Amino acid sequence: MASSASSEALSGGAAPTVTTVERRGIEHVPHGERWGKASGLFWMWAGAVWNVEFVVYGALAVVVFGLSFAQALLIILLGNLTYCLTGLASVQGPQAGTTTFAISRASFGPNGNRMPSFFNWVTQVGFEIEGIALIVFAAILLSTKAGFTAGDPAKIIFIILAVAVQAVLPLLGHAAVLRVLRWLALPFVVLFAVMAGLTAGKVNLHVPAHGASWGALTIFLALVISAGGLGWTENANDYSRYLPRTTDKKRIVLAVMLGGAIPSALLEILGAAIATGVPSATTPNGLVSGFPAWFIWPYLIFAIFQLFAINTLDLYSSGVTLQSIFPRLHRVACVGIDTVICGGIAAYAVFSSHFYTLLADFLLFIIVWLGPWCGIYLVDSWLRRNRYDHDGLLNERTGRYYRHGGFHWPAIAAQVIGMVCAALWLNAYSPYVGPLASRIGGTIGSDFSVFIGLFVGAVVYFALASRSVRAEGEATPETVASLGPPQPGGV
């Protein structure tokens, strides 16, 4: 009987229905409720990333950064290799049974972790605002095509409707997110195949003829990495935590990496190709100038669905991240708080004439904190051999990770030093250009902030904490939690 129960715990339970509201936030997922599969992560990431935003990112290479198509192709392929980081940042969830920024407490301590948690919460809300603004712009264009000019009252109504619809899947929770994004993946693939066919005749792969300097290449590479592989690492374990502990780590890494990298690379290459003949492709609405009239309606409708899909991941993760800062808040309440904040700031973005400039700057600035944090997070996992004490992770006052008043100073020092070094070589022209970025790379400068941040954060943390973290990992039993009644806060 005990053997049978143990097998049940390792294999996980049945998946909840799509309409089941997830009551669990950062609480530990009992092994009897681990219903996920690695293949489900592939389809979830694919459903989110088959998105018009990534076409726009590719178009920026040609129109904004002046890359030739060949240069853009090279940088896009290189940049999307960083989805391996998303995969590596997904293997901790099945072992710890909780979310990314609860697991991050092992590195920073429960109190020290509030700093990167806050940075991530701001980042996720920023992406949500971007998505809502793009949805509203698409709705405005749809109304124009229907013969209705959307004034300020109509824009406000669009914003309210968008934030309300956006909240549905995150409120339902993990099972609904994975299922619905899987269902959406195939229709999105078909849409972009049609888009590629319709715009093929407008592509001019020899424009611009001479391409850009190597400095511009590094800046665009930083954007691709921050919007892609590195930019999803802080969400990864929020979706892998429902996998059984016995799930093969290589399968997790490959499923996540391929699910994100394949659509991201294909869409960005498509965007770069379209931009050689349709310069307005740097906005989702600008893409329509390259389409025949009959395709504009289905494109805009699908674009809205796609933007809701990718915003779902951001809003779900921002909710559980906020809960890691304020554990007494319920996950559903956190989603509600984020929805209200997102709606208010999105209204400013919609009425601002500098939206796309703000978007590009935002994507570059998040590298400053994200690179060092990712380096610290992955090194910590490696040092402790991916062993976590889930009770310690969720203990705010004592426990294995409380250390010095809830702070683990080696991680905090590595984060701060990594951020300073990344800022020295960050090129977010024009609001900020780091001293190294401005001196190296020609007129436009260069940007190695992502690599500097990752490297410095990882190396400093290893130097300061390797001995203690290894000992901590060795002292953490590699055992499966005992079976018992489902914990409060479950699905």
- Residue range 108-119, pLDDT digits in tens: 999 999 999 999
pLDDT surpassing 70 at residue 252: yes
User: pLDDT category, 8, cuts 50, 70, 90?
Assistant: very low
| Element at 413 (helix H, strand E) | helix 409-424
Give the pLDDT score at 233: 96
Give the contacts of 189 (CB within 8 A, at least 6 positions apart): 50, 263
pLDDT at 480: 40
In this predicted structure, what is the pLDDT of residue 44? Answer: 93
For the four alpha carbons of 420, 426, 432 and 433, in that order, the dihedral sign comes to positive
Alpha carbon separation from 271 to 47, 58, 80 (Å, rounded): 18, 4, 15
pLDDT cut 70: percent of the chain above it = 92
Query: Given this model, what pLDDT does residue 248 score?
Result: 95
pLDDT digits (tens, 9 = 90+) for 190-223: 988 998 998 888 888 877 667 888 999 999 999 8
CA distances, 136 to each of 303, 307, 336, 453 (Å): 11, 10, 20, 35
Model confidence over 381-439: pLDDT tens digits? 999 999 999 999 998 888 899 999 999 999 999 999 999 999 999 987 777 889 998 88
Mean pLDDT of 337-344: 90
What percent of the chain clears pLDDT 90, i.e. is strictly above it? 52
pLDDT at position 310 is 87
Helix, strand, coil shares, percent, the chain, to 5: 70, 0, 30
- Pick from 30, 5, 103, 11: nearest CA to 481: 30
First to last CA, the chain: 26
**Does pLDDT of 300 surpass 50?**
yes
| CATH fourth-level superfamily of 19-356 | Hydantoin permease (1.10.4160.10)
Provide mean pLDDT across the span 145-151.
Answer: 85
Q: What are the boundaries of each domain within the chain?
A: 19-356
| Mean pLDDT (whole number) for 89-103 | 95
pLDDT at 13: 63
Mean pLDDT for the stretch of residues 153-171: 90
Structure confidence by residue, pLDDT tens digits, 468-489:
999 999 998 875 433 333 334 4
SS3 (DSSP) at 427 = strand
pLDDT for the residue 281: 83
Of the pLDDT bands very low, low, confident and very high (cuts 50, 70, 90), residue 83 is very high
Could you tell me the pLDDT band of residue 102, with boundaries at 50, 70 and 90? Answer: very high
43 band by pLDDT with thresholds 50, 70 and 90: very high
Peptide bond between residue 30 and the one before it cis (omega within 30 degrees of 0): no
pLDDT, average across residues 70-87 = 96
Q: State which amino acid sits at residue 261.
A: A
Q: Band of the pLDDT at 352, cuts 50, 70, 90?
A: confident
What average pLDDT is seen over the chain?
87
Mean pLDDT lowest for which of 132-136, 243-247, 357-361, 461-465?
357-361
Q: Residue 364: is its pLDDT beyond 80?
A: no
- How much is the pLDDT for 245? 92
